[in-house]
Structure 1
Amino acid sequence: MATHALIVGINCYDAAAPLYLPAADAQAIAQRLSEFGEFRKISRLPERISPDRSGLCVDPEGRVTAVQLERAICDLFLPIGGGAPDTALLFVAGHGLRKEAGVPESFLAASDTDAARGNWVLSLLWLHRILAASPVPNQIVWLDTCHSGALLDFQQVDPGRGTRCLIAASRPFEYAYEEFARSTAERPRHGVLTGALLRALDPAGTPDGRVTNLTLAERVQRALAAEPQHPLIANSGEPIVLTRAAARSAPVAAASGRCPYKGLAFFQRDNEDPDDFFGRTRLTDELLERLRTGAFLALVGVSGSGKSSVVRAGLLHQLRLGQRVGGSRDWPQVIMVPGADPFVNLAAALIEQTAADRAAAIAVGRCGTAQQLVTLVDGLTADPPGTRLILLIDQFEELFTQSPPAVVAPFLATLLDALDLSQGRLTLILTLRADFYAKCAEQDYSGLARRIQGGQVIVQPMDGTELTQAICAPA
């Protein structure tokens, strides 16, 4: 398997303040990948012979022009004449810029960047287009620069066709910071993100002696949980092994005595069900990507298509792990079915599954208003910043088959108005049988049909490869 890495660390700039850590950060990442990684080719930029003449290193005094940076990135992800690697990794440490004129836009700075003259250099939108056009199936990008989170602002193109691991040091409007020095006489050793990456890439102490993009995300988030700077992380596709300890025999798993096949029952979010859930990686990635940029999702499919399984053992399980969407492990999740009294069932689910104030939840259960629900959501999402309450209404068609008709419109008004008032802190997910699609448009229902039209994902039958995974992988 061909695996290539491009490691960039730029200290020197013509029209911006010099930096002191990026070259050292880049060299440390290159060394970690060289020591424990499975990358056949590691390119450094800028590059020079190491002082001890033992090999190449990142040049702390070297310059990287815009042309050089652009060409190196294109060579990595869009190699001329074919021969694209199976896995390509790009790491960049240095200045990041944000242009506020008109539509805000973020850039990677090169040594010859001069914003005052309109030379902003490499737009993160351009980089995202390169990734979308790249034939490389497994793409990894880590940016330890200011304003780098803009890379994750763009909707991914067909995330199911391969694997992507995107990690940005800061949100689009934020700066990236250095680690705190241990004394006034000591310089910080690395950028905050780089330091966390270096520790997370060390396979020592991992249960199986290896680090994947998924476990990397989990370890980075855990390491920086108490820091003021929180990276943005997006993983999609299958796990990629990044580093591995010395080869050792894999333990033989003991037979559990349970059947991993569910028959007509759906896979649950908890217990061992997610370990047996295969064949829906592409759909799960699509759902995760939708939730990164939206707060409403409707899974529509025929009866028995696997809607409940993919949303529980796929989407909600991945959000709880926090390995694919940064920060999502802290998001409270509530699962309910409408039943005969959707207000009461919502209140009961909030009380049983979250730390919601009991009196506030009971008030919602008594045909509560949207503002009452939002107040409750605010209390559950106050800390850490960016927390969202995930509300799954499974078997949404029960609202039309079991709930009293007089309750349907008020219940939907409470939910959908709260969705608007919550300013992104409430996320609503529905699973709906396709034969009840028309029911959602019989009345306005606070704009339900319009929301479904804009936020629907059709759950289609598995293809041959997915069926093979679903049958063979759990065995």
Structure 2
Amino acid sequence: MVRWIEPDRKADNTSIMIRYPFKFLSAYNSEDTDIFFGRDEEVEQLYQMVFQSDLLLVYGGSGTGKSSLISCGLASRFEPHDWLALTIRRGRNINESLRSKLASMVKQEVPAGMDLSWLDETEEAEAGSELSQQIQTLYRQYFRPIYLIFDQFEELYILGSAEEQARFIDTVKEILGMEQPVKLIIIIREEYLGHLFEFERAVPQLMRKKLRVEPMNLDKVRQVIVGATSHEHSNIRLRQGEEEAVVEGIFTKVKGEGKQLTIQLPYLQVFLDKLYMQITGDEQRQAEAVFNTKALEEIGDMGDVLRDFLQEQALRIQQQLTA
């Protein structure tokens, strides 16, 4: 949920765009790299891993930001010509979804001036499965390493049949044996790691390069809040002299009375948006806000925030149903 405000005019008559720096419960993507904070260490680890293996496993609890880490964090480390990222969700069948995604990319218009007529002769001369031919054609069309990102992979084990799972394992084995530069990144909730036993037996490298996305500790929360509010186009600031108190106060409010040292990212996202709304009351997220200790004291604890949030969502659903 990122909204842009109409340009303001600076003293030198140049225009700037003011941006609401939080995404609420939406995932970050490649257009959000300037407001993606708190995962520098994980992004660097993942970036190194993609050069060490053709198969990576990214796992963590629900809502820890696994998808955003790939689609925004890792994406920020590549130039557009360095990778061709294709995100695949299971849909009705993961194998068919993969082939459909590849086919949709191959069918896209060829850039003006690029002659690919020679592909027809080359493809006729080469044997291989439909999948192999799709990837060969895709690579020749884009001339970029292909990254196949299987998001919410646990759906294969929640909804998929044993036949679908076995077929996908065969597909992975086939891809890993191809000559074209193809990387596979599998994103899964950690409670489903045990379901990967047969997968790992057939593809031993599955667990060799893996990254766990941890919940947010105080340092990462500090990076998120300070980064987002220090961004030159952000419409949110921290009150001068209260920066550390506000950061620690937010972390404490979200964490609650427990002794844990981390917090859940969705809770942080809801809390930050609620704090902004309490200060501004602007549902369009256009007004400027200054986060301060007084506003933080007035907002209540995380239980109050979640209760208000759920009540608001229930009211909106009711209004939509009766409209």
State the TM-score, normalizing by the size of structure 1: 0.39
Larger radius of gyration: 1
Shift of 1:415: 2.1
| Identical positions, percent | 23
Please give the per-residue CA displacement for 1:408-464, whole angstroms capped at 9, x wherever unaligned: 111221123221x213511100111100000010x256624x323202111123343
Shift of 1:399: 0.6
Please give the per-residue CA displacement for 1:353-412, whole angstroms capped at 9, x wherever unaligned: 45579xxxxxxxxxxx98432222122223787x31110000010111122332111122
Distance in 2 separating the partners of 1:451 and 1:339: 26
Counterparts of 1:271-420 in structure 2 under 5 Å? 272-319=31-78, 321=79, 329-355=81-107, 371-382=129-140, 387-419=144-176
* Runs of 5+ unmatched residues, structure 1: 1-248, 323-328, 358-368
- Conserved 8 A contact 1:273-1:313: yes
Residue 447 (str. 1) matches residue 210 (str. 2): no
**Local SS of the residue matching 1:418:** helix
Residue 471 (str. 1) matches residue 234 (str. 2): no
What is the count of residue pairs matched by the alignment?
201
Point out the structure with the larger strand share: 1
Q: 2:301 maps to which residue?
A: none
Point out the structure with the larger helix share: 2
Please give the per-residue CA displacement for 1:169-218, whole angstroms capped at 9, x wherever unaligned: xxxxxxxxxxxxxxxxxxxxxxxxxxxxxxxxxxxxxxxxxxxxxxxxxx
Q: 1:8 maps to which residue?
A: none
- Conserved 8 A contact 1:356-1:380: no
Q: 2:311 maps to which residue?
A: none
Distance in 1 separating the partners of 2:131 and 2:108: 11
Q: 1:461 maps to which residue?
A: 215
Residue 438 (str. 1) matches residue 199 (str. 2): no
**Local SS of the residue matching 2:131:** helix
- Conserved 8 A contact 1:391-1:426: yes
Moved over 6 A (4+): none
Shift of 1:281: 1.4
Shift of 1:252: 7.2
Distance in 2 separating the partners of 1:299 and 1:466: 19
Alpha-carbon distance change, 352 to 261 in structure 1, aligned in 2, over 3 angstroms:
farther
Alpha-carbon distance change, 348 to 402 in structure 1, aligned in 2, over 3 angstroms:
same
Residue 255 (str. 1) matches residue 18 (str. 2): yes
Distance in 1 separating the partners of 2:105 and 2:36: 23
Distance in 2 separating the partners of 1:413 and 1:356: 27
CA-based RMSD of the aligned residues comes to 2.9
Q: 2:181 maps to which residue?
A: 425
- Conserved 8 A contact 2:64-2:215: yes
Distance in 2 separating the partners of 1:335 and 1:370: 24
Please give the per-residue CA displacement for 1:285-305, whole angstroms capped at 9, x wherever unaligned: 111111122211110111111
The structure showing larger relative contact order (alpha-carbon pairs under 8 Å, at least 6 residues apart) is 2
Distance in 2 separating the partners of 1:279 and 1:464: 10
- Conserved 8 A contact 1:331-1:390: yes
- Conserved 8 A contact 2:89-2:151: yes
Q: 2:263 maps to which residue?
A: none
Distance in 1 separating the partners of 2:24 and 2:40: 20
